Chains A and B, each alone.
Chain A
Amino acid sequence: MFSASHRLHSDEMSAEQNQAVYGKCNNPHGHGHNYAVEITVSGPVDESTGMVCNLVDLDGFVHQHVLERYDHQNLNVIQEFAENVPTTENLCIAIYKIVQRGFRLAHLERVRIEETMMNAFEYRGDL
């Protein structure tokens, strides 16, 4: 899980359009979430360890490349959101790309993020 702030705003739209599309999420001061991230990997079970992959390796990778990157940050100032609105849809895709590029020990199936208790988003890698 990581805690971050964001603001939903697109420079391609007028102020009124931004208000209409994003409502409260357009607040110029931003707002925050505790994002709960689930990473699902798959693979055969290794006969000698009984594991698909060692969770220490997966946790370590996610901690170093996802949590350290986003935790206690303002998503709007992070490079991948310079030209992309930091909706949780786009966050799912960004985290998927990070894990897919860097974690080789199992096959990445999906990234799921709970933005609040009532909303969750999932990306499985197809565009």
Chain B
Amino acid sequence: MVYLTRKAEFSASHYYHNPAFTPDENVRIFGKCNNPNGHGHNYTLEVTVKGAVDPKSGFVVDLKQLKEIMNREVLDAMDHRFLNKEVAEFSKRIPTTENLAIVIWQRLSPKLKAAQLHRVRVYETPDLFVDFYGEA
């Protein structure tokens, strides 16, 4: 089993707000992140897949295909977007980095044929990242 990680960057804005909380609760829990005009990040995404090395090609997976899947399923939808308003999953889910990792997993996992998705890692900033390994 060899693990292969492909990185990509995207820039997006978001804000944190739960309509079930009062305005005061939203400010208390989310602080500056509750600004309804949003704020932004340069996110770094690392997608790790795992699989056996194909004895003919020497590959676990064709990197070109993995890159295309990442572009189509994630980057085209999220890059240079306001996540709360423009990405369907975040109309009902707060676009925290945790939920972003889970949503990206859910978008990618069914599209990967040759190898299995092992981990999605999302850096919100260079100092803060989330790992999701697919467990429910």
Contact = CB atoms under 8 A, between A and B. Distances in A.
Interface of A: 8, 10, 12-13, 21-23, 84-87, 89-90, 92-93, 117-124, 126-127
Contacts of A87: 53, 57-59
Nearest to B46: A120
Given A21-B62, A84-B58, A89 B53 contact: yes
B7 A117 contact: yes
Contacts of B116: none
Contacts of A124: 1, 3
Contact of A85 (B3, B5, B58, B63): B58
A21 B62 CA distance: 8
A12 B58 contact: no
A13 B56 contact: yes
Nearest to A23: B64
A10 B57 contact: yes
Contacts of B59: 21, 87, 89
B20 interface: no
Contacts of A120: 4-5, 7
B53 A119 contact: no
14 contacts: A85-B57, A89-B53, A89-B59, A90-B53, A93-B53, A119-B5, A119-B63, A120-B4, A120-B5, A120-B7, A121-B3, A121-B60, A123-B2, A127-B52
Interface in B40-74: 52-53, 56-60, 62-64
Contacts of A122: 2-5
A8 B1 contact: no
Given A89-B60, A119-B5, 12 more contacts: A8-B58, A13-B56, A21-B59, A85-B57, A93-B53, A119-B6, A120-B5, A121-B60, A122-B2, A123-B3, A126-B1, A127-B1
Contacts of B3: 121-124
A21 B61 CA distance: 10
Q: For B1, B2, B63, which residue has the most chain A Cβ atoms within 10 angstroms?
A: B2
B8 interface: yes
B58 A118 contact: no
Given A23-B64, A122-B3, A12 B56 contact: yes
In the A-B complex, the 4 residue pairs with the smallest Cβ-Cβ separation, listed nearest first, are A85-B58, A87-B58, A122-B3, A120-B5
B2 A121 contact: yes
